[in-house]
Amino acid sequence: MIRQYELVERVKAYDPSADEDLLNRAYVFSMKAHGSQTRASGDPYFLHPLEVAGILTQMKLDAGTIATALLHDTVEDTVATLEDIERIFGKEIARLVDGVTKLSRLELNSEQAKQAENFRKLVIAMSEDIRVLLVKLADRLHNMRTLYHLKKPEKRRRIARETIEIYSPLAERIGMHKIKDELDDLAFAELNPDARDSILAQLARLRSEGENRVQTIITELRELLASEGLPDVSVSGREKSAYSIWRKLQRKNVSFEQLSDIMAFRITVGSVGECYQALGVVHAHYPVVPGRFKDYISTPKPNGYRSLHTGVIGPGRNRIEVQIRTQDMHEIAELGVAAHWAYKQDHQPRPNGGEYRWLRELLDILEHAQKPEEFLEHTKLELFQDQVFCFTPKGDLIALPRGATPVDFAYAVHSQVGDHCVGAKINGRMLPLRTQLQNGDQVDIVTSKAQTPVPGWERFVVTGKARARIRKFLRTQQRAQYMELGRGMLMRQFKSEGYEFTEKALEAATKIFQQPTVDDLMAGVGSGLHSVREVFHAVFPGHKAQAAPAVRELEESAPKPKAKARKESALPIRGLIPGMAVHYARCCHPLPGDRIVGIVTTGKGVTIHTIDCETLESFHESPERWIDVSWETGPDSPEEHVGRISVVIANEQGSLGTLFTVIGKNQGNVIHQKITNRSTDYFELLIDIDVKDAKHLTNIMAALRATPAIHSVERARGR
């Protein structure tokens, strides 16, 4: 156990002006508060905050941070209160302790919701003062070092998983690679002990095959650099951690023997110029492994990490990774934000530099997430991925997760840029928005004020910020669509029963259906959560129910497609966005001009079918789900709809080209085609075409029938 005077001496050794009285008071207060409490190991509980403080002294942090470490569990686990902390230690220490304190008394539905709320609180606190995160990481590191004392395996695995998914990536984001590596390894030992033991066994085998391999390579590199005019350099070597090796085996899908950088060597020089001089020496004497060179000096990582990385076939024909950096770069690489020692001059540091862009993005995710679990999901997306580095046209660096697209890039630049993104030039070429970006790409986003987020974007974006923003917009739009649809359905029901529709009349029904407002009630009707008839009879309980006229008329007219539909009671679907409140059935692909009917689906709104769709037979026993709808074409209606045709075409040279040429000449755009049957003489295809309406599709089909190579064309039904 670190004694009181020893802790003070450690801090005074690197910060002579440290507040000695504060440290002494915090030590005594914490020891008394925890009293006779013990941990799962049987050790006194006070040993934990003391060890956390000791970890932070190794980072040479200020007295306020050390005091916070000593006090960080007093509010959560003892009778002490935040008011006590503020009265004795001041507002700053109380704010830091509050930021680290978990929401242990919060009543939540699930363990995941509790985890999400705790992390949400941590994000807000560390956005105010990054020292909160430093204390939290030290706290987690000591907990992981003693994790084996916990008896319940499921609890150990939950803590280890949380560590590897959240706290390890956070440590990496602030550049604390030493802590990140230890957290990873401790979590890996709990989550996948067999894989870890296997990798350690293979490393031991490599060691036994060449006991002096590492030292031999170090000696050769040092002599080589000295002979080229760099005598005052430090060369060190180490094996990669088991977890790092395992991740590479997963990501690259290769065997252990195929990995090229199990051994890493670090060359530490005196200046930036000597970094590049040393790189030239290494590249001149050893073959370079293609694609392994990375220059993080000219293009630092967002967390401030700077170094040159290269892979070579080094001494003894061993594949090795070489990192070249200065001593200052090395300190930042190991300790990250703690190495900057920002707290000497400013005791209230604010994360506003470029290296904290990720933290501002977490706050943005927090703003747009609907519930805690969603925030946690998006945060994991944001943190736990390898990165690619891309540039704006002005040369600004944007770091993104691997697999990111121009839409992710647009949202990283600014939320409004993402919302209005219509296209992207990547290295001067217009490419699809789903294109995956590569290291060094220059991306120019094309925007339009008329553009809004598209539902399909959510399927390919990989950043939490982009996904949270898209989801929030879609939720807002979907609610508006449901309200509009619900209002139309209620107006139609009121009119058919001989009543005038007013929102005031619906107010009494809001309590019955437990909806806070009339708008919420109408949205519930539009989404299918509440039946139109149920709401109507709640407003007029004495009204005598009538048979559903729309269903009767639709059933009677179904065999006669040429009969005119009754328009005065039909609900127009103009302006309702497909995929939100209205869905077009894929079993029949309805088009403007077709006779259609709507089927209310609980929680999804209305699905539009053609009146002769075979699927409708399954809804005959549920007349309350049928609504009469009609197309209302106009400038606001969608310009393109998907029509599906079935084509039989001759199996001969050029016939497919002829088919698509005819469709194109008739202003149709093929978006999907599938060969369903192929024989010696014929192809049978299903083709999806963007068309304006049923008449447009009919014209295309007529043109195809006039083509000699095409034997038959029919409007397709079914998926």
Catalytic site includes residue 556: no
Give alpha helix (H) positions in 146-254. 153-162, 168-173, 177-191, 193-209, 213-227, 242-252
136, exposed or middle or buried, with CB in 10 Å at 0-12, 13-18, 19+? buried
β-strand pairing of 582-584 with 605-610: parallel
In DSSP terms, 235 is beta-bridged to 267
Pick the catalytic residue from 19, 20, 43, 76.
76
Please state the separation of Cα 569 from the chain's center in Å: 45
β-strand pairing of 596-601 with 626-630: antiparallel
Measure the CA–CA gap between 111 and 254, rounded to whole angstroms. 36
Q: How many helices (H) and strands (E) does the chain have?
A: 29, 19
E strand or H helix that includes residue 77:
helix 74-77
Helix or strand or coil: residue 684? strand
β-strand pairing of 571-572 with 421-426: unpaired
Measure the CA–CA gap between 106 and 109, rounded to whole angstroms. 10
Measure the CA–CA gap between 588 and 644, rounded to whole angstroms. 8
Helix or strand or coil: residue 19? coil
Give alpha helix (H) positions in 146-176. 153-162, 168-173
How does DSSP assign 446-500, residue by residue?
A: EE-TT----GGGGGT---HHHHHHHHHHHHHHHHHHHHHHHHHHHHHHHHHTT--
Catalytic site includes residue 346: no
β-strand pairing of 682-691 with 605-610: unpaired
Residue with tokens 């609504």: 627
Give alpha helix (H) positions in 615-669. 655-665
Four-CA torsion 455, 458, 464, 468, nearest 10 degrees:
20
Measure the CA–CA gap between 361 and 338, rounded to whole angstroms. 21
E strand or H helix that includes residue 64:
helix 63-71
Pick the catalytic residue from 19, 20, 77, 86.
77
Residue with tokens 């029904």: 509
| Amino acid in the structure at residue 551 | V
Q: Which residues contact 31 (CB under 8 A, 6 or more apart)?
A: 46
Kindly state the DSSP code that residue 599 receives in the 8-state scheme.
E
Which among 627, 604, 637, 631 is positioned nearest to 482, based on CA atoms? 604
Active site residues per annotation: 76-77
